A = this chain, B = another copy of it.
Amino acid sequence: MTNLGQFHVDEVSPSYWRVTFANGPVNLLDPDTIDQLGALVDRIEGDQGLTVVVFRSDNPEYFMAHWDALADKSRVAAMKPGPTGLHPYLDNFVRLSKVPVATISALRGRARGAGSEFVLATDIRFASDKAILGQPEVGLSSVPGGGPMARLARLVGRGRALEILLGGDDIPAALAAEYGYVNRVLPDNELDGFVDGFARRIASFDKVAVSGIKQLVDVASLPEDAEFAPGLAAFFATSGRPENAMFTHALFEHAFQQPDGIELDLGTAIGRLRQKDKA
């Protein structure tokens, strides 16, 4: 077991790593996450024996809640581009999607916003029947920055991508599986065993085959790196505008970023607060 800050890396075997994310009571993503995920992707890229990585959370309610709205914006703005030439927030996701190993999200709890963007950058998403996904940014007056316009449109088709991204509502696991947002949904108590079996299977395969197959699926299915940049630019341009300060304040009054408040039911809560705001 090694540790990259918020990412605990359990080297189950030389070909199989299990990575557990933990950052506070709801598993927020923040500037440290960016730095540490970059380091983790470096390690995955460079390991010669690795064929499969599983990402999971020990928090049954929160896989990764979303980006920390209280994070230091100037630190994020000052970050230097990564190897792809993109801002490291995007660089991490783009490089993660291309690592020469199979990556699997074992999705239990909530994965919204940046958390949804993270799981979309992994290859395969297996979800507990209690999992919830979503891109709530539209309700916070922002354009999502981590690429879900590019990825969801290709994964679930234009119609459902627009429903998810313009509706900004919670997508329960069963609906996510119908739409193709996740690969499949499993009973909560079967998720870990299923994912472990699937990962051990790939861990027993030849890396030459795994990486060779993935590279050709990448050609057929990944957007050009450059397609992601305008999304992050739009996020920076729309997020944190002064005219939205009051709404953000209202969210925090309802325990935003706390485990037992509106985070449980964020899609509905944002809709209710917005329509009260508008009325």
Which residues of chain A have a CB within 8 Å of any CB of chain B? 102, 123-125, 137-144, 149-150, 152-163, 165-169, 175, 177-178, 180, 182-184, 198, 200-206, 208-210, 212-214, 216-217, 219-223, 227, 230-231, 234, 238, 244, 271, 274-275, 277-278
How many monomers of this chain does the complex have? 3
Contacts of A213 in B (CB 8 A): 137-138, 143-144, 149, 165-166
A72 CB, nearest partner CB in chain B, Å = 23
A158 touches which one: B149, B198, B217, B277 (CB < 8 A)? Answer: B217
Subset of 13 A-B contacts with CB under 8 Å? A102-B166, A123-B158, A123-B162, A123-B166, A138-B202, A138-B205, A139-B205, A154-B158, A162-B214, A166-B210, A167-B201, A209-B238, A212-B238
Most chain B CB inside 10 Å of its own CB: which residue of A138, A175, A238 = A138
For A209, A238, A244, the residue with the greatest tally of chain B CB atoms inside 10 Å of its CB is A209
Inter-chain contact B153/A217, CB cutoff 8 Å: yes
Q: Which chain B residues lie closer than 8 Å to A244 at the CB level?
A: 206
Residue among A125, A156, A205, A219 with the most chain B CB within 10 A?
A: A205
B165→A221 contact, CB < 8 A = no
A137 CB, min distance to chain B CBs, angstroms: 7
Question: With contacts A102-B166, A216-B234 known, is A157 near B123, CB below 8 A?
Answer: no
A234 with B217: CB separation less than 8 A: no
Query: In the assembly, what is the distance between CA of A68 and CA of B230, in Å?
Result: 43
The residue from B175, B204, B221 contacting A154, defined by CB atoms under 8 A apart: B221
